[in-house]
Amino acid sequence: MRFRANGSFDGAFDPLDELGDLAREKDIWLHVDGAHGASLLVSDQLRGRLKGIEKADSLAWDAHKMMFVPAPCTLLFYRNRQDSLGAFQQRASYVFDEEPDRYTELDSGGVNFECTKRPMIMPLWTLWSVYGRALFAEKIEYLCELTEEIHRIVLDEPDFEAVHRPEANIMCFRYRPADLRDEDVHRFQVAIRNRIKIQGNFFISKVNIDGVAALRVVMMNHQINAEHFRMLLGEIRRLGRDLLDSGK
């Protein structure tokens, strides 16, 4: 049985503490997909949002999401080190020595599937060892604060709709000018998002929430600020007006 996170589309955290207790009670393996959100662990201020994550049997975390490093840089953690030996096990006598020698204990082939690929941990390890944890914490705290700020901006704009209160660095919202009919809301958000992509000034994504499309911004770059977001709203208005006026 797998618990499927459904909060991740809007950066919300699943109730890990409760899931951890439930998994233990029912003797179920709990895997946490922390690809994006586990980065908040580096911040003393934000770590509490992942309360209960220590109950996971395994945790996937992408450093290429929020940790400044190029893709791919993915980490997989196990509660029990021994479990790492079982996960990717296979028989292949031409790769894995069945008669151990003095190098066997250094061979990482049995605990991952990278084999001959470059060790993807190096970009993260290099930055971390030069700058330490504080640099990452500062960036991520800034991005989460910025996301709260842009949420307040959306709440203040009568022609925009805030869909949720952000829990991390992702915010979903809709553009709903007064003359937009309810049955057109979905199609309109999709059309706006496609226009924005073509314009090339901003990159935003789209997500369906309760079956209706919403615009989705993910704050990843610490050089972005609220002014940039206001520029995005301006562009959405301009493109949206254009679509409505041309009847598309």
Ligand X SMILES: *Cc1c(COP(=O)(O)O)cnc(C)c1O
Applying CB under 6 A, the site for ligand X has a residue count of 7
- In the complex, the smallest distance separating the C-beta of residue 5 from ligand X, rounded to whole angstroms, is 7
- In the complex, the smallest distance separating the C-beta of residue 74 from ligand X, rounded to whole angstroms, is 5
Both structure tokens of 20 = 């951890």
8 binds ligand X (CB under 6 A): yes
112 binds ligand X (CB under 6 A): no
- In the complex, the smallest distance separating the C-beta of residue 183 from ligand X, rounded to whole angstroms, is 31
Our CB check for ligand X shows the closer of 62 and 167 to be 62
C-alpha separations of 194 from 132, 159, 186, 213, 234 in Å: 39, 20, 13, 12, 16
14 binds ligand X (CB under 6 A): no
- Binders of ligand X among residues 55 to 84 (CB under 6 A) are 62, 65, 74
Query: Cα dihedral angle (153, 155, 158, 160), rounded to 10 degrees?
Result: 80
- In the complex, the smallest distance separating the C-beta of residue 8 from ligand X, rounded to whole angstroms, is 4
- What is the phi-psi region of residue 133: left when phi exceeds 0, alpha when psi lies from -120 to 50, beta otherwise? alpha
Our CB check for ligand X shows the closer of 59 and 236 to be 59
Burial profile 176-202: b = 16 or more Cβ within 10 angstroms, e = fewer: beeebeeeebeebbebbbebbeeeeee
Our CB check for ligand X shows the closer of 8 and 205 to be 8
- In the complex, the smallest distance separating the C-beta of residue 62 from ligand X, rounded to whole angstroms, is 5
Q: How far apart are CA 20 and CA 52, in angstroms?
A: 6
- In the complex, the smallest distance separating the C-beta of residue 44 from ligand X, rounded to whole angstroms, is 23
Q: How far apart are CA 240 and CA 1, in angstroms?
A: 44
Our CB check for ligand X shows the closer of 174 and 216 to be 216
Cis peptide before 158 (omega within 30 of 0): no
Our CB check for ligand X shows the closer of 8 and 225 to be 8
Our CB check for ligand X shows the closer of 6 and 93 to be 6
Q: How far apart are CA 238 and CA 61, in angstroms?
A: 38
Binding mask 19-38 for ligand X (x = CB under 6 A): --------------x-xx--
- Positions in the binding site for ligand X (CB under 6 A): 8, 33, 35-36, 62, 65, 74
